[in-house]
Amino acid sequence: MQSAESNYQGVWGNRIGFGKSPALLVIDFLKAYTIEGAPLYAPGVVDAVAQAPELIQAARDAGIPVIHTRILYLAENCADGGMWVKKSPVMKAMVEGNVLAEFCDEVEPAKGELVIVKQYASAFFGTSLASQLHAQGIDTVIMAGCSTSGCIRASAVDAVQYGFRPIVVRDCVGDRHPDPHNANLFDIDSKYGDVVSKEEAIAEIAKAKSGCP
């Protein structure tokens, strides 16, 4: 059987590239994914969290916006999660007071950094994220976080639909199993945005700082 790479060649996989005004979007780096024994525990997310501080610091040093998201349900019995919590009741852990809903210590938002609270997979669905990015003239959304097959993919698809250039940093996203992780990175890179290494992302962030094209 033909490989996926050969099958897609010449049809999918065009590069979208970085624009002139990036922001870093750090999606749902919550303790639910990094505490061993928790239902959502994902070894790939543990690895991504370990890689992410260098990327986040590069964005802070460059003065580009760093935006964090977290899933948090506020209604009784997580009713604001709608059908998603019916399909995936494990998400009901994402409530105030549950340690699993807290940010991982290594990647906590800094003072003044925007935190978007969401109830669904995409960072854009039901939030003001797109409006805030457009208001700041952002054209490129660099993504780190979790999970690759869930909130990263959903956010990348919505980002391109809202007119942004989605850039997913391979080293800084993770999932609970390598198969969905790799499959979704392949699909994102083929159809919706660019998947790049941390080194490439940091180099592009440095260009934004210096004003180089």
Distance of alpha carbon 94 from alpha carbon 101, whole angstroms: 5
| Catalytic entry in 78, 104, 146, 151 | 151
* Sheet with 114-118, side-by-side order of all strands: 114-118, 66-71, 22-27, 140-146, 165-174, 194-196
Residue 157 and residue 181: Cα distance in Å, rounded? 16
Active site residue 172: no
Q: Which of 67, 84, 63, 87 is nearest to 75 (CA)?
A: 84
Beta strand extents in the chain (DSSP E only): 22-27, 66-71, 114-118, 140-146, 165-174, 194-196
Beta bridge partners, 115, equal 68
Q: Tokens 């494990």: give the residue.
A: 90
Q: Alpha-carbon distance 3 to 5, whole Å? A: 5
| 180-186: long-range contacts, CB 8 A cutoff, minimum separation 24 | 180/147, 180/148, 180/149, 181/44, 181/147, 181/148, 181/149, 183/149, 184/148, 184/149, 184/152, 184/153, 185/148, 186/4
Just list the catalytic residues.
151
